[in-house]
Amino acid sequence: MQQTTPSPPVHLPLPPPPPKPAPGCDICAALVRQRQDARDRGDLSAATDADVEIRNHPHRAREGRR
């Protein structure tokens, strides 16, 4: 019989902080509201989707980074 041993523990980093909306952007503001509504109802998948959309939403200040 083969003896087995447990695998070492997996160490995961903390998730990144939520992205900040661009000041004055109505789309980002709506996404922040959607994110909060999703968190309030316990839908962390939808909250993460809103984070991704905020992070990827194009703004003039971000164009130089691409």
- As a whole number, mean pLDDT of residues 10-15 equals 91
pLDDT for position 64: 45
The CA distance from 22 to 25, in Å, is 6
Nearest to 54 by CA among 26, 15, 20: 20
- Does the predicted TM-score (pTM) go above 0.85? no
The CA distance from 35 to 57, in Å, is 14
pLDDT for position 4: 81
* pLDDT tens readout for residues 18-57: 999 999 999 999 999 999 999 999 999 999 999 999 999 9
Annotated domain spans of the chain: 18-57
In the chain, the N- to C-terminal Cα span, in Å, equals: 57
Exposure of 31 by Cβ count < 10 A (0-12 exposed, 13-18 middle, 19+ buried)? Answer: buried
